[in-house]
Amino acid sequence: MERASTAVAHQTARFALGRPILVLAGPGNNGGDAYGAAALLRDWGHEVTVAALGTPKSGAAAAMAQRWGGATVALSQAASRPVVVDGLFGIGLDRDLDADTATALCWLVAAADVALAIDLPSGLDTDSGALRGAADGYTLTLALGALKPAHVLHPASTRCGTVLLDTLGLEAQGDWRSVARPSLAAPASDAHKYSRGMVAVIAGEMPGAARLAASGALHGGAGYVVLCGASGGADAIVHRAHGDLDALLEDQRVGAIVIGPGLGRDDAARARLDRVLASDRALVIDGDALSLLGRDLPSAVAARRAASVLTPHAAEFDRCFGASAASKIERTLSAARQSRATIVHKGAGTVIATPDGKILVAADLTSWLSTAGTGDVLAGLIAARIATGGSADEAVWLHGRAASLAGPAFAADTLADHLSEAIASCR
Ligand SMILES: NC(=O)C1=CN([C@@H]2O[C@H](COP(=O)(O)OP(=O)(O)OC[C@H]3O[C@@H](n4cnc5c(N)ncnc54)[C@H](O)[C@@H]3O)[C@@H](O)[C@H]2O)[C@@H](O)CC1
Ligand SMILES: [K+]
């Protein structure tokens, strides 16, 4: 708590630049950090007011309150100040903020020029990222010890402002990491189109979606992309008829197959899906393929001999694994173990889990990705990375980067065009 208070005080001083500071101190150790920071800031010459909610419950927090020693006002009586430091609740929040607390907090944060949250904005559920009365408008959140899921999971992550991490010298990192920029090499000097990675995309009722996936694979670095069951589209994509499916599944050069984008949900689609599932090729299973399998998916995929990557959005995830109130991180991990597949659980804050328990989170994806077809591009891109010996998280990073490069209001058709620049930034 000494280290936490000191880190908070330093960060606050950097932003305060002499302006009056209001420190909000709750009853737990988050409040302890707040009292400690208030005492330091006062000792450094800042004008500090403390608004208290309840009295400190732990010995450490009580000691910090004693160190502050000065007057406190009740939270409900606090006047706004240009700088607000929120130390009401951190990871110990176990219920919604009551209405009076939420109202006072929202008003004080909104009225401040700078609002800094200690560890987490008060009123966020640490593990699930749900809103439990949190205010909007924080300038920054100083995460203490380690990042928590709420710093990266939607909707909590949208309330944090800029998140800074101070590890406080603790080895406290949880079991998940943020998706990081991958390090990608150019193809080997003796590479040819098949050694670069060969991807097959199985088309169906809506060939446009499969074409987008094929384009994602091609621009994602695959050496050879086959679109099975659709004609037209980009010239470098090789077209095959649905009648060639069995030959394609036997072709050992095929490094990964995408099935699901625009597949349809009729009997023909189901028959194709069953043949592909029975193959020993690595699969990316997306869209209609996920919906066709529904609650049978975990066992059907777990029985496969080759690797599978599933790319559900929230509704598809629920369709396959059932709805639950657990956090997105826990649910995705449990689904990965159950289906023995890598799961890319899409949405605002994409969570990736592997069957061996690796968890990665991509938090800061542009919201312009929320347009039809971007998921199809991602499915193809994942297949390309797998076929070239890479991983799904590389694809998620490249996809997010390409979307940022594409700018606002892009169409999914042009997203793949930005993958080259995204890959170029990974050397
Ligand atoms: N655990 C650690 O290793 C460290 C913890 N630190 C700080 O300690 C914080 C966690 O402290 P605590 O576990 O004491 O938890 P908090 O300080 O977040 O709050 C817990 C207290 O608030 C009460 N409470 C919870 N929800 C409430 C609600 N909606 N309305 C009213 N009362 C509510 C609880 O009954 C409990 O008394 C961290 O967020 C961080 O700021 C830091 O000092 C650094 C190290
Ligand atoms: K807080």
Point out the annotated binding site. Answer: 209, 262, 313, 346-350, 375-376
Judged against a pLDDT cut of 70, whether residue 233 lies above it is answered with no
Average pLDDT over residues 112-135: 97
The ligand 1 atom at the shortest distance from the C-alpha of residue 89 is: 18
Q: What are phi and psi of 242, to 5 degrees?
A: -60, -25
Q: Where are the alpha helices (DSSP H) in 220-286?
A: 245-250, 267-278
Which numbered ligand comes closest to the C-alpha of 27?
1
> Residue 272 in contact with residue 252, Cβ under 8 Å?
no
- Residue 25 alpha carbon to ligand 2 centre in Å: 9
What pLDDT does 194 receive? Answer: 85
Rounded Cα distance, 21 and 25, in Å: 13
pLDDT in tens, 344-361: 999 988 999 999 999 999
Average pLDDT over residues 410-414: 94
Task: Report the range of poorest mean pLDDT among 56-65, 339-348, 363-372.
Answer: 363-372
Residues 6+ away with beta carbon under 8 Å from 274: none
Which ipTM did the prediction report? Answer: 0.98
What stretch of H or E contains 22? strand 21-25
Residue 181's nearest CA partner among 419, 422, 8, 377 is 422
CA within 13 Å, CB half, 98: 5
Which numbered ligand comes closest to the C-alpha of 105?
2
Rounded Cα distance, 23 and 47, in Å: 11
pLDDT in tens, 323-338: 998 889 999 999 999 9
pLDDT in tens, 161-202: 999 999 999 877 778 888 999 999 888 888 888 888 999 999
> Residue 23 in contact with residue 17, Cβ under 8 Å?
no
| Ligand 1 site residues, Cβ closer than 6 angstroms | 1, 4, 26-31, 33, 57, 89-97, 118-119, 144-145
Label residue 225 left, alpha or beta by phi (over 0 means left) and psi (-120 to 50 means alpha): beta
- Residue 127 alpha carbon to ligand 1 centre in Å: 14
Rounded Cα distance, 275 and 279, in Å: 7
- Residue 30 alpha carbon to ligand 2 centre in Å: 6
Query: What residue's CA is closest to ligand 1, atom 37?
Result: 28
- Residue 161 alpha carbon to ligand 2 centre in Å: 13
**Is 3.40.50.10260 the CATH number for 2-174?**
yes
Assign 17 a pLDDT band (cuts: 50, 70, 90): very high
Q: Is residue 256 classed as helix, strand or coil in its secondary structure?
A: strand
Average pLDDT over residues 255-272: 97
- Superfamily of segment(s) 198-424: Ribokinase (3.40.1190.20)
pLDDT in tens, 149-165: 999 999 999 999 999 99
Assign 401 a pLDDT band (cuts: 50, 70, 90): very high
Average pLDDT over residues 76-84: 97
- Joined together, the tokens standing for residue 412 give 């999914």
The ligand 1 atom at the shortest distance from the C-alpha of residue 87 is: 41
Q: Report the percentage of the chain scoring pLDDT > 70.
A: 99
Neighbour count for residue 180 (Cβ, 10 Å): 11
Q: Is 2-174's fold the same as 198-424's?
A: no
- Joined together, the tokens standing for residue 44 give 């450094």
Give CA angle at 176 (157, 288), nearest 5°.
75
Task: Name the amino acid, one letter, at 241.
Answer: A
The ligand 1 atom at the shortest distance from the C-alpha of residue 88 is: 17
Strands (E), 69-196: 73-74, 83-87, 114-118, 140-144, 162-166, 176-178
Q: What are phi and psi of 219, to 5 degrees?
A: -80, -10
- Joined together, the tokens standing for residue 119 give 């560890």
Pocket test for ligand 1, best of 3, 8, 30 (most atoms within 8 A of CB): 30
Which numbered ligand comes closest to the C-alpha of 24?
2
Judged against a pLDDT cut of 80, whether residue 235 lies above it is answered with no
Domain ranges of the chain: 2-174, 198-424
Assign 70 a pLDDT band (cuts: 50, 70, 90): confident
Average pLDDT over residues 298-308: 97
- Joined together, the tokens standing for residue 342 give 């890598």
